[in-house]
Structure 1
Amino acid sequence: MTVDTRPHTTVGRTWLELPDDHPFGIQTLPYGAFTTSAGDTRVGVRIGDQVLDLTAASARLDPAHAALFAAGTLDRLLAAGPDAWTRTRATLTDWLTDPTRRKDLEPLLVAVDEATMVLPFTVADYVDFYASEHHATNLGNLFRPGQPPLPPNWKHLPIGYHGRAGTVVVSGTPVIRPQGQRRTPDGDVVFGPSARLDIEAELGFVVGTPSTLGRPVDLAAFPEHVFGVCLVNDWSARDIQAWEYAPLGPFLGKSFATSAAPWIVPLAALEAARVAPPARHPRPLPYLDDTDADPWGLDIRLEVSLNGHVVSRPPFASMYWTAAQQLAHMTINGASLRTGDLFASGTISGPQATERGSFIELTWAGNEPLQLPDGSTRTFLEDHDEVMITATAPGPGGTTLGLGEVRGRIAPTHGSD
C-alpha cells in the first residue's frame, strides 16, 4: 500500500470566527475523548476553546465515519490506518470551514472547561526511551563523575525500557507518592515514601496501524504506523530507582504513574514543525541511518510549570534520536506493534540550564534548590505540588499548534496525612 504522507492541513477560517493566532485553530484539530453529563463517553475534536462531539456529529452527518467514533474512544480510528486518518481530517476541515454546516454542528459543541477529559485510547504497550543527549550527559555527570557521561552504546542505539501500560493515566489524575525500598546515605536499606519524587517532561507517540510479528518497521514506514503525538510526564521516584535499577533497569521507581495529555495531535498537523535532527557521530547503522531520509526532528517547545511558576522550557528539536528511529529500533528484532502502543521520547532537555526537563537536573540532584517567585524553594516534589507541562509547535502559514497540557498534583502516600 502506498501512503500519501504529504501535508493535509488547510489554513483557513472556520465559521467559529477564531483569532488567527489561536493554537487550536483549523491547523491543529487534535482528537480526545470526554464524558458528558449523561455519563457516556464521546470522541471529540478540539477547535478553539470548544470540543466538537464527533460521536454525535458523525452519526448525524456521515454514517461512513460513525463506526469509527461510536465506541467513545479513538481505538477504531487508530486501527483504521493512514487512509482513514487522512479522510477523517479532511472531512473535519470541511465541516468546520463550511458555513452551511454551522446549523448542524453548533449544537454539538461543548466548552473545553465543561468537558471531563478521559484517556482517549486503550494503551496496549508502553515503552520509554532515553533520547536526549543533554539529559543523558547531565545524569552521567551527576552519577559517574570523572567518567564518560554516556555509556558506550548510547550513540549507537536508542536506549529504552518497557513500562506498565496499566498505570498510564490522563492529565489531571492525582499522582500518589509511591513507596518502596531506598538506600540511605549511611548505607541502610529502608522502606517508605519516596523522598525524591521527580518529573520527566516528554513527548509521546501513539501507534495506530499494527505490524506483523517478525517483520521490522523501517524508518520510511513511520507515518504508516504512528497516528499522532501527545505530551507525557513520566513521573520518577529517583531514590527508589537508584537502589533497584542495577542490573535490569527501571522498575518500581517508574511504574507507579505516567501522565498523558488528553489531546492527540495528528502527525499530519506537524508537517511545518519537522526539522533536521542534530548531527550524529558516529553515523548510525543502516537501519537507523536517516541521513538521506525525510527528517523527523520536531520543533516542539515545551514549558514546565510548578505551582503556576515556569521553571523550564525544554526544546524537543534538540533530541538526538527521532521517533522514527525509536520505532525502527523497537521493532528491529521482530517485535510487533499493536494499535494503542505508546512510546515516549524520554526526558527532553536542552543545552541550557533553563531547558532541563527534570528536577534532578534543574536542582543538580538537590544540591542547587530552585528558588520560586513566591519565596519557596524546591529540590524534589512535595505533597500537593502541581506540575503542568504545555507545548506549542509551528504550524502552516505562520500559525501555531497547541498540544494542550499534561497536569498532575502530588497526593500523599496512602495512610499518611
Structure 2
Amino acid sequence: MASWFQIPKNSPFSLANIPFGIISVQSASRVPAIAIGEHALNLNAFASSGHLSVFDQPTLNAFAALGRPVHRQVREYLQNVFRADTQFPQVLKDNADLQKSALVPLSQVTNHLPMQIGDYTDFYAGLNHAYNVGVLFRGPDNALQPNYKHLPVAYHGRASSVVPSGTPLHRPSGQILANPAADPKVPTFSPCKKLDIELELACLISKPNDLGKPVSIEEAEDHIFGLVLMNDWSARDIQAWEYVPLGPFNAKNFGTTITPWVVLIDALEPFRAAGLEPGNRDSLLPYLREKRAENAYEIPLEVEITNKGGQPTLVSNSNARNLLYSFPQMVAHHTITGCNLRTGDLLGSGTISGKEAKTQGSLLEQTNGKNPIKLADGSERLFLEDGDTIILRGTAGTEGNYVGFGDCVGTILPAVSF
C-alpha cells in the first residue's frame, strides 16, 4: 500500500498494520491512537473533527467491545485516509491543521497499557518449550504430561502487575531452596538468583461471554481484539520451591511486560500458517477442533539482551508457528466450563521456542542452568543480571508492508532492600 504520508520501509507500523494503543503527550490525558510509521495519530483529536467519535476514552475497552466488524471497518477507513489514492483527501491529507494537532512523533509520546486488564491467564501452548523444560526436570520419556496434547494447559496470573513496554522491574525476592538435596528441606529468603524471560504472544479479549455460556471454537476468534508481544518474567528458583502442588505464584506475579500497540486479528490474516502437529487435531475433543489447519501465524520473533553499558546481543530467533494451540482454542477451552471472559482480559500463549539451537524463548532452555551464553561484550549469562535490558521483537511481512508489534522492553533493577 502506497501512502501520501512518509512511512519508513523498515517500520513495523506500515499501512498494512494500523495497530491501536493508548498514548499521552506531555501532561495531557490518555487518549486512543494508532501507530503509523514514526508517528502516532491521536484518534481523540482526529475524532474531534467529526470522525470516529468513539475514541474519547482513556482505554481501548469501549472500542474493543464493539466487535470485530467495527474494528475492521475503522481499520480499513484509516488505511484509506492514509493511502496515496485516498478517497478522503480533505480529511487529513489536505488538512494541515489537523495533521499538526493529531499526528505526533512517537518519540514525543508516552505509551500506556492499551486496555484495562481485569484478568490475566497464561497458557503453556509452546510445545517445544514444554518439552525442553520437561526434559530438564523429568527426562525425555516423561517430558510432556499426559494431558498436554489434549488441552491447552494454563494458570491464572496477576493482572495488576501487567505493565507496558519500557517499564523497569525490580528483581523479586522470595523463598529459595538453596540445596534441593538437603534433608530436611529448609528454604532461605533472598533476591532471585535465576531470573528469566519468556518470549510470548498474548491476545486481548474484545467481546465478552455471559457466565455459564461457553464460546464455541467457531465463534472464538470474534471474541479476540488483537495480539501483543509479551514477556512473562520468571523467577526460576522461587518457582522451583513454590510450584508444588498448585503451580506458579510469586515466581510470576512481580511483572509481565506487553507491547503497547495491539495488532488487530485482521492485520495478521495474511500470515496464517499451519501450527505444530496438525495431525494432533483429530485426537482433540470436538469442542477444540478447528476446521482450518492454518491456525497459527508466520511471525518471526527475536530476543535481544543488552547489559548495562554494553552492546546488544541477539540471543534467540523463534517463530509464532511454534505453538501447539491457537488463541481461539485457548478461548474455547477457557470458557468451556462457563467461565465468563471480559473485555480487556489478557491470554498469554506460553513460551514460544523452536527446536534448533538459539531458537529457545527462555534462558533456562538455552543454558540448562549450566552452560552460559556469551554476550557481545564478552560477559556471560546463565540468567539475567541487574542492569540487563531485554527486548522482544516480532514482525511479519516484507519491507514496506511490515506488520509488527514494536519493541517489548524491560530493564532489571536491583532487588528492594527490606
TM-score by length of 1: 0.92
Taking only the aligned residue pairs, the percentage that are identical comes to 40
- Post-superposition shift, 1:47? 0.6
Aligned to 1:72: 58
- Post-superposition shift, 1:20? 4.8
| Partner AA of 1:327 in structure 2 | V
- Post-superposition shift, 1:242? 0.7
- Post-superposition shift, 1:128? 0.2
| Contact 1:171-1:406 within 8 A present in 2 as well | yes
Flag the 1:218–1:293 CA change in 2: closer, same or farther, 3 A.
Answer: farther
**Residue ranges of structure 1 left out of the alignment (5+ in a row):** 1-11
- Post-superposition shift, 1:238? 0.4
- Post-superposition shift, 1:147? 4.1
Supply the distance in 1 between the matched residues of 2:144 and 2:279 (Cα, whole angstroms). Answer: 14
Counterpart of 2:261 (choices 229, 250, 263) is 263
Counterpart of 1:399 (choices 401, 406, 409) is 401
Supply the distance in 2 between the matched residues of 1:38 and 1:249 (Cα, whole angstroms). Answer: 41
Supply the distance in 2 between the matched residues of 1:413 and 1:38 (Cα, whole angstroms). Answer: 30
The 5-angstrom pairing of residues 73-92 of structure 1 reads 73-92=59-78
**For each residue in 1:26-46, what CA deviation from the matched residue of structure 2 results, as whole angstroms up to 9, or x when unmatched?**
100011111112331111101
| Contact 2:316-2:360 within 8 A present in 1 as well | yes
- Post-superposition shift, 1:198? 0.5
Supply the distance in 1 between the matched residues of 2:106 and 2:81 (Cα, whole angstroms). Answer: 19
Aligned to 1:312: 316
Aligned to 1:23: 12
Supply the distance in 2 between the matched residues of 1:222 and 1:313 (Cα, whole angstroms). Answer: 29
The 5-angstrom pairing of residues 355-394 of structure 1 reads 355-364=359-368, 366-394=369-397
**Residue ranges of structure 2 left out of the alignment (5+ in a row):** 307-311
Aligned to 2:288: 288
Aligned to 2:27: 38
| Partner AA of 2:40 in structure 1 | V
Supply the distance in 2 between the matched residues of 1:303 and 1:198 (Cα, whole angstroms). Answer: 15
| Partner AA of 1:231 in structure 2 | L
**For each residue in 1:336-359, what CA deviation from the matched residue of structure 2 results, as whole angstroms up to 9, or x when unmatched?**
110001001000001112110001
- Post-superposition shift, 1:323? 1.0
- Post-superposition shift, 1:60? 1.1
| Partner AA of 1:128 in structure 2 | D
Supply the distance in 1 between the matched residues of 2:21 and 2:203 (Cα, whole angstroms). Answer: 14
- Post-superposition shift, 1:178? 0.7
Counterpart of 1:193 (choices 191, 194, 203) is 191
Aligned to 1:106: 99
**For each residue in 1:67-97, what CA deviation from the matched residue of structure 2 results, as whole angstroms up to 9, or x when unmatched?**
x211232111011112221221122112222
> Higher mean Cα deviation, 47-56 or 140-149?
140-149
| Partner AA of 2:64 in structure 1 | L
- Post-superposition shift, 1:293? 2.9
The 5-angstrom pairing of residues 110-189 of structure 1 reads 110-145=104-139, 147-185=141-179, 186=182, 187-189=185-187
Supply the distance in 2 between the matched residues of 1:70 and 1:86 (Cα, whole angstroms). Answer: 19
Supply the distance in 2 between the matched residues of 1:285 and 1:299 (Cα, whole angstroms). Answer: 26
| Partner AA of 2:99 in structure 1 | E
SS of the equivalent of 1:166 reads helix
**For each residue in 1:109-134, what CA deviation from the matched residue of structure 2 results, as whole angstroms up to 9, or x when unmatched?**
11111111111110011000011111
| Contact 2:393-2:407 within 8 A present in 1 as well | yes
| Partner AA of 2:44 in structure 1 | T
Aligned to 1:9: none
Counterpart of 1:56 (choices 3, 28, 45) is 45
Supply the distance in 1 between the matched residues of 2:227 and 2:400 (Cα, whole angstroms). Answer: 20
SS of the equivalent of 1:152 reads coil
| Partner AA of 1:402 in structure 2 | G
How many aligned positions are there? 399
4+ residue runs over 3 A deviation: 19-22
Supply the distance in 2 between the matched residues of 1:51 and 1:343 (Cα, whole angstroms). Answer: 26
Counterpart of 1:343 (choices 332, 343, 347) is 347
> RMSD between aligned alpha carbons?
1.6
Flag the 1:57–1:294 CA change in 2: closer, same or farther, 3 A.
Answer: farther
| Contact 1:82-1:224 within 8 A present in 2 as well | yes
Supply the distance in 2 between the matched residues of 1:241 and 1:263 (Cα, whole angstroms). Answer: 30
